[in-house]
Amino acid sequence: MNRITIHVDGNAGTINRHIYGHFAEHLGRCIYDGIWVGEDSPIPNTRGIRNDIVEALRHINIPNLRWPGGCFADDYHWRDGIGPKENRPRWINSHWGNVVENNHFGTHEFMDLCDQLGCEPYICGNVGSGTVQEMRDWLEYLTFAGDSSLANERRANGQDEPWAITYWGVGNENWGCGGNMRAEYYADEYKRYATYCRNFNNSALYRIAGGPHDTDYHWTEVLMREAAARMEGLSLHYYSLIQWEDKKPATQFDESEWFTLLKKALFMDTILSQHSAIMDRYDPDKRVGLIVDEWGTWHAVEPGTNPAFLYQQNTLRDAVLAGVTLHVFHNHCDRVHMANIAQTVNVLQAMVLTEGEHMILTPTYHMFEMFKGHQGATLLPLVLQSEDYASGDAAIPAVSASASRNASGEILLTVCNLNPNKPAELSCHLPGAAITGVTGRVLTGETMNAVNTFEAPEAVRPVPFDGAALNGSDLKIVLPAKSVVALTLS
């Protein structure tokens, strides 16, 4: 039997809404032939940005968008992406398939996108191949209200008012595509760059240092020891995948691969605990945020597509995995202040996929929509006893759950059943609660690899859930096999 006790009047921290952040890189068909279709496109757009994508992302309350990379960020020179489009240089995107980048989507277009989405920009600057001056000047161009050459250049390019910028990345994966540096070298470089990274409108800038990946605890140790005083956030990247070489398909897998991938996702908890423990030694007040600005599944590309474009499909397995991962982030909300799933459109674990004028919502999108009430809410203390879901001689908990209370007092309980074979009966105890109503939705499918396609775009979508019954301050829930359930208790 699975049991949960939720203390509805308790407070286990605030789930920062930025944990539900996203990431859009100049990679494959994320920006070009994705978000950006250009003003002259027959696809409905606003100043070149696809309307259907904006509408879909607004619906999940996208809180922030990280741009322009990823690896692309350390090869990107912002001046290439301003001014009349016909004058912008064409150059090679050497990280992602050597395709020609025409720079039609640059600073103004990105800020317009954030404006249309109603989300905060999170810009990642170039350390690997850029200069301190280049990064500092970008900030002046973006944020200065007065009469400087850079602010006037911004005005000449159509933006009178300075933009508000809070989140600023100082390089990306500087242990790899961002310059192949040692932690000790990058820590010094970080301090040099960060010294000159400021808002020119007197508001605070939240500087995010290029952080470790996976279990590189040495990187965290060095960065925290050498540079914690000059950073507000430290990034962390962790992707869930079966194996790096010869990656496995997104839609064709057996149960052992379903199990392995979810186990890999749960490993996020260990990684966060270990990195947080190091950070605690240098920053016991938890001022510095751990910013998981790349996470999600990484499968083989869809057959027939450019391997450098990282275009993958997205099944029910990806949605369950995302739900489980977000629950892990909630449990670390004292340290995890932001997270960005990779990537928003047509790349890796995307929210939406496009084909010409058509757009489909992925199962992961629906999961984000079902969880959106957690954004900014108070995390409720919860004790979960779960049965095991075993495969071979390994086992993981079958049930993952999280509950939060929003400003109106409504409780959102989200639960995932990781077992693809068996419904999970869950007895939920809410001591002292005066709950009178429960409504819910469920996301599941006939098969583990249930998927939305352009031919059948609604195969996986949330439907009303009638498997929860209230009995005083107790709740009995029967979760279908391989499902994500969101319940609102009032």
| CA-angle at 224, arms to 218 and 228, nearest 5° | 160
> How far, CA to CA in Å, does 205 sit from each of 74, 107, 173, 202, 310?
20, 18, 20, 9, 32
Applying CB under 6 A, among 116, 126, 172, 297 the residue interacting with ligand AHR is 172
In DSSP notation, 191-237 reads HHHHHH---TTS---EEEE---BTT-HHHHHHHHHHHGGG-SEEEEE
Contact between 137 and ligand AHR by CB under 6 A: the answer reads no
Q: Closest CB to ligand AHR among 19 and 348?
A: 348
What is d(CA 388, CA 124) in angstroms, rounded to the nearest whole number? Answer: 41
Q: Which residue is nearest to ligand AHR (CB)?
A: 70
Contact between 342 and ligand AHR by CB under 6 A: the answer reads yes
Cβ atoms < 10 Å from Cβ of 470: 15
DSSP state of 79: G
Q: Closest CB to ligand AHR among 75 and 283?
A: 75
Contact between 75 and ligand AHR by CB under 6 A: the answer reads no
The yes-or-no answer on residue 294 being catalytic is yes
Applying CB under 6 A, among 6, 15, 25, 113 the residue interacting with ligand AHR is 25
Question: Interface with ligand AHR by CB under 6 A: which range of 64-72, 99-107, 261-269, 311-319?
Answer: 64-72
Site mask for ligand AHR (CB under 6 A), range 255-274, x = bound = --------------------
E strands of 374-465, at which residues? 378-379, 382-385, 388-391, 394-397, 399-405, 411-417, 424-429, 438-443, 463-464
Question: Interface with ligand AHR by CB under 6 A: which range of 13-21, 69-77, 315-323, 476-484?
Answer: 69-77
Question: Interface with ligand AHR by CB under 6 A: which range of 242-250, 263-271, 342-350, 427-435?
Answer: 342-350
Q: Closest CB to ligand AHR among 290 and 380?
A: 290
Question: Interface with ligand AHR by CB under 6 A: which range of 66-74, 129-137, 279-287, 369-377?
Answer: 66-74
Contact between 448 and ligand AHR by CB under 6 A: the answer reads no
Contact between 187 and ligand AHR by CB under 6 A: the answer reads no
Contact between 71 and ligand AHR by CB under 6 A: the answer reads yes
Contact between 121 and ligand AHR by CB under 6 A: the answer reads no
CB of 95 to ligand AHR, least distance (A): 7
- CA Rg, the chain, in Å? 22
Q: Closest CB to ligand AHR among 120 and 173?
A: 173
Q: Do the Cβ atoms of 314 and 449 come closer than 8 Å?
A: no
* Distant-in-sequence, close-in-space partners of 131: CB < 8 Å, separation ≥ 6: none
Q: Which of 391, 450, 413 is nearest to 264 (CA)?
A: 391
Which helix (H) or strand (E) covers residue 123, if one does? strand 120-125
What is d(CA 484, CA 480) in angstroms, rounded to the nearest whole number? Answer: 9
Q: Closest CB to ligand AHR among 110 and 141?
A: 110
Cβ atoms < 10 Å from Cβ of 469: 11
**What are 120's strand-pairing partners?**
64
Contact between 140 and ligand AHR by CB under 6 A: the answer reads no
Applying CB under 6 A, among 28, 63, 68, 70 the residue interacting with ligand AHR is 70
The yes-or-no answer on residue 257 being catalytic is no
CB of 218 to ligand AHR, least distance (A): 18
Q: Closest CB to ligand AHR among 71 and 209?
A: 71
Question: Interface with ligand AHR by CB under 6 A: which range of 68-76, 283-291, 312-320, 436-444?
Answer: 68-76
Q: Which listed residue (173, 189, 232, 369) is catalytic? A: 173
CB of 232 to ligand AHR, least distance (A): 20
What is d(CA 2, CA 427) in angstroms, rounded to the nearest whole number? Answer: 6
Q: Closest CB to ligand AHR among 219 and 389?
A: 219
Cβ atoms < 10 Å from Cβ of 407: 8
Give the binding-site size for ligand AHR (rule: CB under 6 A).
10
**What are 210's strand-pairing partners?**
none
> Residue 429 is which amino acid?
H
CB of 128 to ligand AHR, least distance (A): 11
Q: Which of 4, 35, 2 is nearest to 397 (CA)?
A: 2
Q: What length is written for the chain? A: 490
User: What is the footprint of ligand AHR within residues 271-300 (CB under 6 A)?
Assistant: 294
Place of tokens 């259907």: 52
CB of 147 to ligand AHR, least distance (A): 37
Binding stretches for ligand AHR (CB under 6 A) = 25, 69-71, 172-173, 294, 342-343, 348
Q: Report, as residue numbers or ranges, the catalytic residues.
A: 173, 294
